[in-house]
Amino acid sequence: MPDPSQRRSRRRIPAGWLFISPWLVGLLLLFVYPFFASLYWSFCRYDLLSSPEWIGTEHYQRIATEIWNGDGFGNALWNTLYYAALSVPLSIITAVLLAVMLSWRIRGQAIFRTLFFLPSIIPLVASSILWLWLLDPQSGLVNHVLGWFGVPSQLWFQGVQEAAHPGTFLEFGSKDALVLMSTWGVGNFMLIYLAALGDIPHQLYEAAALDGAGRGRRFWHVTLPMLSPLILFNLVLGLIKSFQAFTQVYLVSEGTGEPVGSTLLLSLHLFLAAFQDLEMGYTSAMAWLLFIVLFIATALLFRSSRHWVHYRTSLGG
Amino acid sequence: MQRSLRSWFMIALPLLLAVSLAVLAWVTRPQSRIPEGREEVVFWHFWGGTDRAVVEEIVDRFNNSQQHYHVRAVAMPGNNLDMKMFLAVTGGDPPDLINQDDPIVADWAHRGALMPLEEIATAEEIQQLEGWLFPAARELGSYEGRLYGLCNGLDIRALYYNRTVIEERTGRPAPQQLESIEQLDKLATECELREEDGKLTSPGYLPDPRRLWAWGVVFGGRFIDESGKVTCDDPEIVRALEWMNRYREKWGANTLAAFRQGDQSLPGKTFPLLSGRYAIVMDGQWRVRDIPADRSGEFGVWPLPHPAGTERQADGWVNGNLFLVPRGCRSPRGAWEFMKFWSGFGGHEAEAARACSLGGWIPPSQQVVDQPRFQQYLQENPLFARFVELADGRQVPTPVIPGARMYEREVNRAVARSLYTDNPDDAGSLLKAAQRKVQQQMDRVQGRKEGP
């Protein structure tokens, strides 16, 4: 004799499936099918207009050659790594410092918090145009201000930065301009840190102060470890975001990745290969490599996190 | 009883929601404004701003003249019309007609995404059309001997100059004509302004990396040969790049980069020729309307000069706007009727002359140019008239080959590397590398065995 509660649960299963069916259909059609189809296409010559033609690992061999020569995918990978390596840490550092400063109880605290958050809700299109003006080599405000401190005029978005010629110290080019631009949207990260700062038990600071720790040491030994789970979260998120950065690059380079391919990040390279050169097979192969690179990078971050991320345990009584 | 009611409710609620959404979609569906008995022709185009109003007027005039077709224009300004079209074709629901200016004819025709016009028009019409079009307009729409696109406007480049700036800086009137590249260089040097420390503040002329396409053909080079092979490493094109490089050697890569490649193309009132920031700028006929009417006397247009001591091989490089009919569309005949109406073919020359006068477009045929209305427009706009004079000359069209967009990107990138980096490889090596890369891509697309 089946348990009546089990019978009741079984009866509710169809309703449950019905409720999640829109999501399920979307997941299968828009994510699962394209996910596996793109893996198949990465081994095919395919332009969407005609049937895929199996060519084995040709696209992967081409990508390997391009990485070796620093051309095409190799150039885009170098650009993306450069961008990610600078923009992710810079965004996190900026966001943490801003959050710490905005947690100080000063007059107008709410206004400052709003002001620093505002840029992150400005549409990327508007902020990209703004940065193009600010970083104009001839008439931009940034070069003007740098001039007051004796820093020579920079080319910013017009500056060619290639792997072979990355530029010298105090010579900022197109990728540096993109990195600088990325700090503009740290408001979201900042808000998360701000919330977490309010959650750090005050006793920890008191105990550190009693042990003679100054402001700097309290920040280093209390604030940062307590924020570390969120730093890990933002690090992973920032890394993924930087590998997918597209809109700003498309806008500032008018969809070309210029000058001389210096701003051709992976996502833009994928876009051009797919929709201008109609090479869906090659694009799929690149997308899969991008996925694998991101997967490995995220796994490594999580693995390393045991050495530097401190999860809170109960303080006990 | 209560439980059963709840189960029913849980099933009925999503159903009710779905039905409500369907009803809402039906009620708010766009109301068709197609007159009864007419066939709808869906037309996608890239025109925005003031041009869009001109396009809408052409569409209205066509619709008013028609008994069989009704055009519904969908404006998609920006530079991704080809991507949207590509997705629509792939999705099996393309528009009936598109008008756009990217070099995509060969890529799409090669893949069978476009209908050749001979499948829509009669053989007699096609024969007439080929003679009716300017040679460049015909070549821009042709791929492998078949006509796939009907050109409705040519884009021609020449040198704009600021008469006042030249007179002020050289102390003599601007010449009526530039006889040679060497004369351009001399004039550019005379017109440049520097600060006390030697920093360039206002160039006479600076080469733009995207303009090798024009200078290359004026120097006598060709970007494809008769067999369709990529030839951007043609010795004459290399010579043109070497000439452009002399400006880098003179000013340094950073100075050239600071006057960024887009600088000379700034739109509307920011056109740097107006402020005297440059004395001479290469651009197309669409720039004429950026020059205020009350200042038009201050500016002039020169055809592109060629190197002294050489025979003039071409007047310039041309691309244009083309009507294309996607395969699988519903009303190709309606599309054909509309494109004839706009371009002027088949007795519609007066309509086309009207449209070209309103939009400031260069017609694709001398028969439209000869229309009284257009002639009057040329008299009123002498700067524009200089461009139209060049339309029937030796204009070399942009290559109609699969991978044309990649070709454009790679050549522009090679030139930018040559102009904007210190100690780049020599012009020949850079263009050879671009040639190899693009030819490989073309061979891949065409399924040919790659060459050595």
pLDDT tens digit sequence for B155-204: 999 999 999 999 999 999 999 999 999 999 999 999 999 888 888 888 99
Residue that is written with structure tokens 């201000």 in the block: A145
* Residue A316, in any domain of the structure: no
**Which residues, 6+ apart, have CB-to-CB distance to B147 below 8 Å?**
B116, B117, B118, B126, B129, B130, B138, B141
* Residue B21, in any domain of the structure: no
Residues of A in contact with B403 (CB under 8 A): 277
| Domain match, A20 and A166 both | no
Q: What angle do CA A81, A83, A87 make, to 5 degrees?
A: 125
| Domain match, B430 and B415 both | yes
Rounded average pLDDT over A282-294: 95
A166: domain CATH number? 1.10.3720.10
pLDDT at B450 over 50: no
pLDDT at B1 over 60: no
Question: In terms of CA atoms, which chain A residue is nearest residue B417?
Answer: A260
* Residue B359, in any domain of the structure: yes
| Domain match, B260 and B379 both | no
**Domain around B148:** 39-155+319-393
| Domain match, A32 and A136 both | no
Task: Count Cβ atoms below 10 Å from residue B437 Cβ, excluding itself.
Answer: 20
How would DSSP label each residue in A56-67? TTHHHHHHHHHH
SS3 assignment, position A209: helix
SS3 assignment, position A2: coil
pLDDT category of residue A308 using cuts at 50, 70 and 90: very high
- Domain count for chain B, please give it: 2
Provide Rg for chain B, Cα atoms.
26
Q: What is the H or E stretch that residue B395 is in?
A: strand B395-397
Rounded average pLDDT over B368-375: 97
SS3 assignment, position B250: helix
| Domain match, A139 and A200 both | yes
| Domain match, B287 and B162 both | yes
Residues of B in contact with A158 (CB under 8 A): 257-258, 260-261, 420
CA-to-CA distance for B118 and A168, rounded, in angstroms?
59
Residue that is written with structure tokens 């703004």 in the block: A130
* Residue B297, in any domain of the structure: yes
Question: In terms of CA atoms, which chain A residue is nearest residue B104?
Answer: A276
Residues of B in contact with A49 (CB under 8 A): 86, 89-90, 111-113
pLDDT at B21 over 70: yes
| Domain match, B388 and B404 both | no
| Domain match, B77 and B43 both | yes
Q: Determine the pLDDT at residue A317.
A: 39
- Cis before A259 (ω within 30): yes
| Domain match, A37 and A79 both | no
**Domain around A277:** 66-308
Give the highest mean pLDDT range of A213-217, A306-310, B183-187. Answer: B183-187
Q: What is the H or E stretch that residue B50 is in?
A: helix B49-65
* Residue B18, in any domain of the structure: no
| Domain match, B294 and B432 both | yes
- Domain count for chain A, please give it: 2
Q: CA A203, A206, A211, A215: dihedral to nearest 10 degrees?
A: 120
| Domain match, A33 and A177 both | no
| Domain match, A132 and A247 both | yes
- Closest-CA residue to B96 (of B78, B129, B124, B72): B72
Task: Count Cβ atoms below 10 Å from residue B295 Cβ, excluding itself.
Answer: 11
CA-to-CA distance for B129 and B137, rounded, in angstroms?
11
Rounded average pLDDT over B37-52: 92
User: Any bridge partners for residue B150, and if so which?
Assistant: B323
CA-to-CA distance for A207 and A213, rounded, in angstroms?
9
Q: Which of A73, A160, A250 to mutate to test the interface with B (most CBs of B within 10 A)?
A: A160
Q: Which of B108, B327, B444, B446 to mutate to test the interface with A (most CBs of A within 10 A)?
A: B444
B360: domain CATH number? 3.40.190.10
Q: What is the mean pLDDT of chain A?
A: 91
Residues of A in contact with B7 (CB under 8 A): 11-12, 15
Asked if A124 and A247 touch (Cβ cutoff 8 Å), the reply is yes
Q: Which of B11, B111, B251, B260 to mutate to test the interface with A (most CBs of A within 10 A)?
A: B260
| Domain match, A151 and A32 both | no
Asked whether the beta carbons of residue A258 and residue B413 sit closer than 8 angstroms, the reply is yes
* Residue A85, in any domain of the structure: yes
Instruction: Give the Å distances, CA to CA, from B57 to B271, B344, B354.
Output: 28, 15, 11
Of B14, B79, B416, the CB nearest to A19: B14
pLDDT at B451 over 60: no
* Residue A313, in any domain of the structure: no
Asked whether the beta carbons of residue A254 and residue B262 sit closer than 8 angstroms, the reply is yes
Query: Distance between terminal CA atoms of chain A?
Result: 50
| Domain match, B270 and B338 both | no
Q: Determine the pLDDT at residue B445.
A: 85
Asked whether the beta carbons of residue B257 and residue A158 sit closer than 8 angstroms, the reply is yes
| Domain match, A170 and A302 both | yes
pLDDT category of residue A162 using cuts at 50, 70 and 90: confident
- Closest-CA residue to B399 (of B442, B432, B433): B442
pLDDT at A34 over 80: yes
Rounded average pLDDT over B297-320: 92
Q: What percent of chain B has pLDDT over 70?
A: 96
Q: Determine the pLDDT at residue B22.
A: 87
Interface of chain A toward chain B, CB-CB under 8 angstroms: 8, 11-12, 15, 18-19, 45, 47-50, 71, 137-138, 153, 155, 157-160, 162, 165, 254-256, 258-261, 272, 275-278
Instruction: Give the Å distances, CA to CA, from B258 to A156, A169, B202, B360, B380.
Output: 9, 19, 12, 32, 37
Rounded average pLDDT over B206-219: 95
pLDDT tens across B93-139, in order?
Answer: 999 999 988 888 999 999 999 999 999 999 999 999 999 999 999 99
pLDDT tens across A46-94, in order?
Answer: 988 889 999 999 999 999 999 999 999 999 999 999 999 999 999 999 9
Instruction: Look at A31-35, B80-84, B352-356 and tell me which has the smallest mean pLDDT.
Output: B80-84
Q: Determine the pLDDT at residue A241.
A: 93
pLDDT at A316 over 50: no
Q: What is the number of alpha carbons within 13 Å of residue B448 lying toward its C-beta?
A: 12
CA-to-CA distance for B234 and B225, rounded, in angstroms?
10
Q: Determine the pLDDT at residue B379.
A: 96
Asked if B224 and B231 touch (Cβ cutoff 8 Å), the reply is yes
Asked whether the beta carbons of residue B403 and residue A259 sit closer than 8 angstroms, the reply is no
Query: What is the identity of the amino acid at B416?
Result: A
* Residue B348, in any domain of the structure: yes
B344 backbone φψ class: left, alpha, beta (φ>0; ψ -120 to 50)? left
Residues of B in contact with A8 (CB under 8 A): 3
Residues of A in contact with B257 (CB under 8 A): 137, 155, 158-160, 259
pLDDT category of residue B38 using cuts at 50, 70 and 90: very high
Asked whether the beta carbons of residue B259 and residue A19 sit closer than 8 angstroms, the reply is no
Number of CB pairs, chain A paired with chain B, less than 8 A apart: 86
| Domain match, A138 and A245 both | yes
A86 backbone φψ class: left, alpha, beta (φ>0; ψ -120 to 50)? alpha
| Domain match, B151 and B163 both | no
Q: What angle do CA B27, B31, B34 make, to 5 degrees?
A: 155
B125, burial (CB in 10 Å: exposed 0-12, middle 13-18, buried 19+) = middle
Residues of B in contact with A12 (CB under 8 A): 7
Q: Determine the pLDDT at residue B275.
A: 86
SS3 assignment, position B111: coil
Q: Determine the pLDDT at residue B452.
A: 37
| Domain match, B147 and B203 both | no
Contacts for B439-443 with beta carbons within 8 Å, 24 or more apart?
A: B439/B229, B439/B230, B441/A277, B441/B403, B441/B406, B442/B230, B442/B401, B442/B402, B442/B403
A244: its two tokens: 């997918």
Q: Which of B100, B254, B415 to mutate to test the interface with A (most CBs of A within 10 A)?
A: B254
pLDDT at B265 over 80: no
* Residue B15, in any domain of the structure: no
B451, burial (CB in 10 Å: exposed 0-12, middle 13-18, buried 19+) = exposed
Residues of A in contact with B11 (CB under 8 A): 15, 18
User: Any bridge partners for residue A44, and if so which?
Assistant: A54
| Domain match, A276 and A246 both | yes
User: What stretches of B32-179 adopt beta strand conformation (E)?
Assistant: 39-45, 69-75, 97-100, 142-143, 146-147, 149-162
Q: Determine the pLDDT at residue A1.
A: 58
CA-to-CA distance for A215 and A226, rounded, in angstroms?
15
Residues of A in contact with B412 (CB under 8 A): 256, 258
* Residue A315, in any domain of the structure: no
Question: In terms of CA atoms, which chain B residue is nearest residue A138?
Answer: B258
Of B89, B112, B417, the CB nearest to A260: B417
Helix axis angle for A58-69 and A73-103, nearest 10°, is 70
Distance from CA of B418 to the nearest CA of A (A): 9
pLDDT tens across B383-415, in order?
Answer: 999 999 998 778 999 999 999 999 999 999 999
Q: Determine the pLDDT at residue B351.
A: 96
| Domain match, B379 and B426 both | no
A303: its two tokens: 């693995």
Q: Determine the pLDDT at residue B449.
A: 45
Number of H helices, E strands in chain A: 15, 2
Query: Distance between terminal CA atoms of chain B?
Result: 82
| Domain match, B294 and B419 both | yes
B352: its two tokens: 């086309």
| Domain match, B330 and B272 both | no
Asked whether the beta carbons of residue A278 and residue B14 sit closer than 8 angstroms, the reply is no
Q: Which of A276, A279, A280 to mutate to test the interface with B (most CBs of B within 10 A)?
A: A276
**Which residues, 6+ apart, have CB-to-CB distance to B294 below 8 Å?**
none
Rounded average pLDDT over A153-168: 78
* Residue A15, in any domain of the structure: yes
Task: Count Cβ atoms below 10 Å from residue B262 Cβ, excluding itself.
Answer: 15
pLDDT at B248 over 60: yes
Of B89, B262, B416, the CB nearest to A49: B89
Asked if A84 and A267 touch (Cβ cutoff 8 Å), the reply is no
A295: its two tokens: 């997967």
Asked whether the beta carbons of residue B86 and residue A259 sit closer than 8 angstroms, the reply is no
Asked if B39 and B331 touch (Cβ cutoff 8 Å), the reply is yes
A213 backbone φψ class: left, alpha, beta (φ>0; ψ -120 to 50)? beta
| Domain match, A206 and A292 both | yes
Of B10, B107, B420, the CB nearest to A160: B420
Question: In terms of CA atoms, which chain A residue is nearest residue B403?
Answer: A277
- Looking at B376, B393, B410, the residue that finishes a domain is B393
pLDDT at B448 over 60: no
* Residue A109, in any domain of the structure: yes
Distance from CA of B68 to the nearest CA of A (A): 31
Q: Which of A41, A44, A260 to mutate to test the interface with B (most CBs of B within 10 A)?
A: A260
Interface of chain B toward chain A, CB-CB under 8 angstroms: 3, 7, 10-11, 14, 79-80, 82-83, 86, 89-90, 107, 111-113, 253-254, 257-262, 403, 405-406, 409, 412-413, 416-417, 420-422, 437, 441, 444
CA-to-CA distance for A183 and A194, rounded, in angstroms?
17
Asked whether the beta carbons of residue A256 and residue B409 sit closer than 8 angstroms, the reply is yes
SS3 assignment, position B51: helix
Task: Count Cβ atoms below 10 Å from residue A167 Cβ, excluding itself.
Answer: 18
Residues of A in contact with B113 (CB under 8 A): 49
